[in-house]
Structure 1
Amino acid sequence: MKKENENNTLRDIFSASVKNYGERMAFSLHNKEIITYNEASSKIENLIGVLNKAGIEPGQKVALLGNNMPNWAVSYFAITVSGRVVVPILPDFTAFEIINVLDHSDASAIIVSSKLEYKIHKHISDKLPLIIRMDTLEPVKMPTVSSPVQPAEPKQEDIASIIYTSGTSGASKGVMLTHSNLVHHTKMTYKLFPIVKEDTFLSILPLSHAYECSIGMLLPFYCGASVVYLDGSPTPSLLMPALKEVKPTVMLSVPLIVEKIYKLKIRPMFTKNIILRTLYSIPLIRRALHKLAGKKLLETFGGKLRFFGIGGSRIDGVVEHFLADAGFPYGIGYGLTETSPLLAGAIPGKVKWQSTGPAIEGVEIKIININREKIGEVIAKGPNVMAGYYKDDETTKASFTKDGWFITKDLGHIDKKGNLFIKGRRDNMMLGPNGENIYPEDIESVINEFDLVLESLVVQKKGKLVAKVHFNYEEIKNGLLEEGNGSDNITDKLKEIKAELISYVNERVNKFSRLSEITEQPVPFEKTATLKIKRYLYN
């Protein structure tokens, strides 16, 4: 049983877990490396020694740029438990973005994986006194100092991490999370869904993102569980054998991953000919087919999965119906980097369709500035809410109400049972010709329910709503071949599909949310680390 008055800093969590779970596996690189809690502790202490010898003072910033691996976690703990501040950098950041993060954060050192060293340009490496290769935890560049520094015992109010968001708006800010933020968040998440030491996590999201770092690394470490990393991106060729061999009990994901599984693998099984399509259109039969598919899907994931967390953005409604019918153990969460990240969540068996669930224990959520549609701005308060944005007092002040509530910039409503429903981002909301509020995410949700759509984005051009749509071109070509038409006729077929899609959408949305045009997005949209579309690139 976890005690409330213990473990107030990441150092406390680290020490307690090493003491309690020393010989258990902490982290693993699939088929390559396994390290126990005791071995992780030795590596962490050795790395702290390197930071001390290099003269990196407590409170100084150390950047982390690497692919997921056990040494990423080792580096994170070495930095934070010794009183320094970790600055995780997303691997998909450009060299220019990385330079900005290193400069803005005042980083004194960087720990970088060999695969990403090429992103650190010489004029940057020349300015950094200490560079450590993450793969080996050996210094590549080491300063000469007269005497090593002494690490400090971090206090709970000390900054532990500065995370630079990769927002859909393109603006990146340094979110300061304290030891208290992260420890409270870990305890609150544990209360929502208790992890046991026998649990095995399979990590497929970047550790540099708050979602994976807090829930996919800190939480299992706190509970004595094990985390397995893939030696590369989670492509089917790496992921499928890993699922079979690892047999994870817990995984964290984002909507796009499970939506692709449904749209590219599951749904085509039930719509490949007219007989199956007819049967699939009957609700009772469709639910039975979903249940069968769910059993196979669970087997594909190794057969032992008890929690499949989905967060980062709203899941497609049709896909969520499938997961519910299938009995798949999915949970839903909502939060932001600024809140460590979780604010609301629902565990398997307690999910309400299209809701993020209620506020987690310890968090308060309310809706302000409610409009005539009963939609308003979501604001939150809790011990997991950030200390502020680094070197940006003005934006920090603007992010809180006068009485201390954090302004999420999300729009939504709360039902009578306390379930939160997110409509979209405040900054994405559009105005109709007569001042009506238009929520593009709602329209996109309807578009994405259409059989042949993979993803979409709604923009406003000269007062008209236009949908950019990435179609399932492979299924369209297969359909043409089944009909006896060559794939050369795809242009005509797409015109027909676009006309059907506009009718489909406009029959299902209010009159001021109706589409005027659909344009093709021939390649997938560019996305953030949690696979949300970078909207600012397409407006």
Structure 2
Amino acid sequence: MKRDYDTHPWDELDEYRGTLVKGQWPTLPELIRLSEDKYGDKPAFSVFHGKEKIVLSFSQVLSTVRHEGAHLRNLGLKKGDKVMIMGKNSPDWALAYFAVPEADCIAVPMDSQMRSDKCVRLAKFAEVKAVIADRSILNALKEEDEEWFSSLSGVFTLDSDDTYMRLADATDEYSSYPVVVEDDTAAILFTSGTTGNEKGVELSHKNITSDVYMTVNEVRMLDYRDVTYALLPLHHSYCCTAVLLEAVRIGAECLFGHGFAVSRMLDDLKRGGVTVFMGIPMLYNKLLAGIMAKVKEKGKLAYSFIRMMMNINSTLHKVTGKSPLSGFFKSVITGKVGLDKVRLLISGAGPLSPKVVWDFHGLGLEFIQGYGLTEASPIVTLNPPEHFKTASIGHPLAFIDLIIADKDKNDIGEIRIKGPNVCKGYYKDEANTRALFDKDGYMRTGDLGYMDKDGYVFLKGRAKNIIVTEGGKNVFPEEIEDMFQLESEVSQILIRGFQKNRDVPSESVEAVIYPDPDSFKGKSDEDVRKRMEAIVSSVNKNLESFQKIERITILNQPMEETTTRKIKRGKVAASPIDGNQ
């Protein structure tokens, strides 16, 4: 399905064509120049250092980026050379991300939590010529492979340091206008490796900026008065596009966060006047649990009353698309926990429980849920607040052609897409690049779903994770895992198949669980197992007979996760389980 529009996301660029914009879509250097031209002295990037708030305007950002780009170029870096960026979220990280294409180079953002040996291996594979990173990371990389480290054309720290030069301290003359064009590679993003095999996704300037413009075109309620919050890791395309680049596009301020602690996060939201908050399901689950815990402190009667009012507000929102009681909840709950300015919540990087969305609607907060993948820059669909459908990942963005291929009898098939945001392929990997696209040029997402009559898409799960039961029924593990999202005593859960009878190829359903350690301090293994069995039994009551969990494995150690808190399923499936069955 491809949606038609009377206007195009790029229409407003027409007045700049031939001056600030050379192609159909801006390059990253053009994007920052467009924003500087429109918003100049308005705050662009900000961060809290203790009680002090550091703010950079759009004019200051462009000036710094041009100096940094000139310095990189003066090191001898040439068009197409790769520069690795690796560090915690900060304005300096964002400046480096824009400075790299300013030097006609390609950014290679890396996970700041990655092991140094793995990082060096991927950097060598990507043929990285320079590194911009936090001081501790630079020290670890040097210790890991001093010969490789010494061969780099440039090494810069993102934080103050006497050992390494800060890129932001560069005082070279402004760079000449970059010669990059929209089809040039802007970034190579290594997928988080949920299968255990990282691939370098090549994204062009067009891929990235088209996704930014199409997304903003869909969410018309965003504008220059907003303050966004970059809490999730910026090396991940979700936060980089949906927070940093969209803020630059609309002239909004981007406040950089420091960690996932709920108390620190709420303090940042309140002090920074954040209006748009983007998170992942784990964050929203923790946030909701924290809010409701404060409500419970008011006593049973008050809690019951608030719950009743939330259900009324959610019902009205479902019927009318509006939350008439939002003012009430702001005065008694959300305003007191730091959410008084927040008007929009955005969720991605995984499905969110409909119950969580229902409760946030009950609190008077608007929600956008989306779907995407790194190979699509990453946003593909959005579930807009004005026409929100519970449990759906929304409809495709304008000018993305989305189809459901190879449908089964229930109209469930693989989600495949075409569009300007679809990647060029995988870096130095022709075989996987060929396999990524079908014969008609559609990108295979590997995700299964269906589309309703209104064009809304519903996600079922990953094709490779399907469990086929003895009766030939398909079980989607992700659907069952989602039912545990609000179980605070379950820290992690993975649903997978197991063979009860080795002579029969079909599978039954197993739950691999890592209990929340704080919930069971001082408890015996038997107590933990009984509680996990009770929770699973409760979930089983809401499952079809062929979906029911038949075996429980309880882990003593957490399963390995990506930085967006997805379990690395392939590694768990391939590893022996250290737990009790």
2:556 aligned with 1:535: no
Q: Does 1:216 align with 2:243?
A: yes
Give the root-mean-square deviation of aligned CA atoms.
Answer: 3.0
CA distance, structure 2, for counterparts of residue 262 and residue 476 of structure 1: 21
Equivalent residue in structure 2 for 1:207, among 234, 239, 248: 234
Q: Tell me, in whole angstroms, the C-alpha distance in 2 between the residues paired with 1:522 and 1:245.
A: 39
Q: Say if 1:178 and 1:303 are closer, same or farther in 2 by CA, change over 3 A.
A: same
Q: Quick one: which of 43, 46, 49 aligns to 1:25?
A: 43
Identical-pair percentage: 26
Q: Is the partner of 1:3 in helix, strand or coil?
A: helix
- Maintained 8 Å contact 2:43/2:56: yes
Q: Please give the per-residue CA displacement for 1:117-174, whole angstroms capped at 9, x wherever unaligned.
A: 23313233123121111225999389xxxxx997741111111111111132222111
What amino acid maps onto 1:59 in structure 2? G
Greater alpha carbon shift after TM alignment, 354-363 vs 447-456: 447-456
Partner of 1:506: 540
Q: Paired residue for 2:122, among 95, 101, 104?
A: 101
Partner of 2:391: 354
- In the alignment of these two chains, the number of paired residues is 521
Kindly indicate whether residue 152 of structure 2 is the aligned counterpart of residue 118 of structure 1: no
Partner of 2:5: none
* Cross-structure match for 1:242: 268
* Cα contact 1:110–1:130 (8 A) shared by 2: yes
Alpha-carbon distance in 2 for matches of 1:66, 1:24: 26
Alignment pair present for 1:287 and 2:311 = yes
Unaligned runs of 5+ in 1: 143-147, 478-486
Q: State the Cα deviation string for residues 171-204 of structure 1 (Å, max 9, x = none).
A: 2111111111112111101101133222111211
1:138–1:188: structure 2 CA closer, same or farther, 3 Å change rule?
A: farther
> Of 136, 152, 155, which residue of structure 2 is paired with 1:128?
152
- The aligned counterpart of 1:74 is 95
Q: Does 1:467 align with 2:511?
A: yes
C-alpha deviation, 1:22, in angstroms: 1.6
Task: Decide whether aligned partners of structure 1 residues 491 and 134 sit closer, same or farther in structure 2, where only a CA change above 3 A counts.
Answer: closer
One-letter code of the match for 1:219? E
Checking the alignment, whether the CA contact within 8 Å between 1:317 and 1:449 is kept in structure 2 is: no
Query: Displacement, 1:389?
Result: 0.6
SS for the counterpart of 2:496 is: strand
Partner of 2:448: 411
Shift of 1:312: 0.3
**Does residue 497 of the first structure (1) align with residue 531 of the second (2)?**
yes
User: Which whole-Å CA distance do the structure 1 matches of 2:556 and 2:334 have between them?
Assistant: 29
Instruction: State whether structure 2 residue 373 is matched by structure 1 residue 336.
Output: yes
1:184 paired residue number? 210
For the 8 Å contact 2:185–2:205, the answer to whether it is kept is yes
* Equivalent residues of 1:25, 1:37 under 8 A apart: yes
Moved more, 118-127 or 176-185: 118-127
Matches within 5 A, 1:365-376: 365-376=402-413
* Aligned-pair CA distance for 1:262: 2.5
In 1: Cα distance, 2:455 partner to 2:137 partner: 44
1:458 equivalenced with 2:458 (yes/no): no
Q: Distance in 2 between matches of 1:255 and 1:189?
A: 20
Could you tell me how far apart the structure 1 residues matched to 2:253 and 2:127 are? 33
The Cα offsets for residues 337-365 of structure 1, whole Å up to 9 and x where unpaired, read as 11011000023343211111111111121
Query: Helix, strand or coil for the counterpart of 1:308?
Result: strand
Q: Give 2:481's match in structure 1, choosing from 428, 444, 452.
A: 444
1:247-302 CA-to-partner distances (Å, cap 9, x unmatched) read 1011211111011222455268559998889x59x985662598776762354234
Aligned to 2:27: 9
CA distance in 2, matches of 1:328, 1:286: 11
1:160 aligns with 2:186: yes
Task: Report Cα offsets for 1:68-127 as digits up to 9, x if no partner.
Answer: 111111111111133211111111211122112201111111111224223313233123
Q: CA–CA distance in 1 between the matches of 2:567 and 2:289?
A: 18
Instruction: After TM superposition, give the deviation of residue 503 of structure 1 in Å.
Output: 2.7
d(CA) in 1 for partners of 2:472 and 2:117? 40
Q: What are the Cα deviations for residues 418-448 of structure 1, in whole angstroms up to 9, with x where unaligned?
A: 1111111112112222432121111112344
Alignment correspondent of 1:319: 356
**Cα distance in 2, alignment partners of residues 491 and 527 from structure 1:** 24
- CA spacing shift, 1:520–1:514, aligned 2, 3 Å: same
Counterpart of 1:364, as a letter, is D
1:140-155 superposed matches below 5 A: 140=164, 152-155=178-181
User: Any idea what SS the aligned residue of 1:413 has?
Assistant: strand
| AA aligned opposite 1:179 | H
CA distance in 2 between partners of 1:286 and 1:442 (Å): 25
Kept in 2: contact 1:132–1:138 (CA 8 A): no
Matched residues in 2 for 1:77 and 1:307: separation?
27
Amino acid of the structure 2 residue aligned with 1:3: E
Instruction: Report the counterpart of residue 44 of structure 1 in structure 2.
Output: 65
Q: Distance in 2 between matches of 1:23 and 1:495?
A: 59
TM-aligned CA distance change 1:2 to 1:437, over 3 Å? same
Once the two structures are TM-superposed, the CA of residue 405 in structure 1 deviates from its matched residue by 0.5
Q: Which amino acid aligns with 2:528?
A: L
Q: Structure 2 CA distance, aligned partners of 1:298 and 1:429?
A: 43
Deviation at 1:396, TM superposition (A): 0.7
Change (3 A) 1:114 1:451: closer
The 1:74–1:138 alpha-carbon spacing in structure 2 relative to 1, beyond 3 Å, is: farther
Q: CA 1:218–1:134 in 2, change beyond 3 Å: closer, same or farther?
A: same
The secondary structure found in structure 1 opposite 2:387 is coil
CA–CA distance in structure 1, aligned partners of residues 175 and 308 of structure 2: 68
Q: Which residue of 2 aligns with 1:85?
A: 106
Q: Which amino acid in 2 is paired with 1:14?
A: I
Separation of aligned partners in 1, 2:479 and 2:359? 19
Cα distance in structure 2, aligned partners of 1:376 and 1:404: 17
Residue 481 of structure 1 aligns with which residue? none
Give, in whole Å, the separation in 2 of the partners of 1:314 and 1:64: 29
Answer whether contact 2:267 2:338 (CA < 8 A) is retained: no
Distance in 1 (CA, whole Å) between partners of 2:385 and 2:341 is 14
Give 1:225 shift: 1.3
Would the aligned equivalents of 1:455 and 1:469 in 2 still touch at CA under 8 Å? yes
Paired amino acid for 1:185: D
Question: Which whole-Å CA distance do the structure 2 matches of 1:117 and 1:287 have between them?
Answer: 51
